[in-house]
Amino acid sequence: MATARDSSSRSTGASVSVAKKSPRIVSCPRCGAAVPWVEESSFRPFCSAYCKRDDLGAWANDQYRIAAKEEEPLSDEADSES
Ligand SMILES: [Zn+2]
């Protein structure tokens, strides 16, 4: 026995737009936490200094690793064949 209440109460449609001045919410690229895009969030789009630093570190690290890898000849394994 289902009430016909659900289908008829469709009032929360598209009229809830500019009523509140809510900040834009972004998710921290590092941990996915919701970060309001406001001046107080000085680490945006990261949620904290930790996430910001960590991500930047990983970035630099990755780039460095790739660059180093390309320059490094992989001859150690081939050499051990003989
Ligand atoms: Zn975070």
CA of 21 to the centre of ligand 1 (A): 24
SS3 assignment, position 26: strand
CA of 30 to the centre of ligand 1 (A): 5
7's tokens: 């289908």
Q: What are phi and psi of 36, to 5 degrees?
A: -70, 130
List C-alpha distances in Å: 27 to 10, 45, 58, 67, 70.
30, 7, 18, 30, 33
State yes or no: pLDDT of 24 exceeds 60.
Answer: yes
State yes or no: pLDDT of 21 exceeds 70.
Answer: yes
CA of 54 to the centre of ligand 1 (A): 9
Predicted TM-score (pTM) above 0.85? no
Domain layout of the chain by residue ranges: 25-71
Q: What is the mean pLDDT of residues 36-45?
A: 92
Residues of the chain with pLDDT > 70: what percent?
43
CA of 49 to the centre of ligand 1 (A): 8
Q: How confident is the model at residue 31 (pLDDT cuts 50, 70, 90)?
A: very high
Q: CATH homologous superfamily of domain 25-71?
A: Erythroid Transcription Factor GATA-1, subunit A (3.30.50.10)
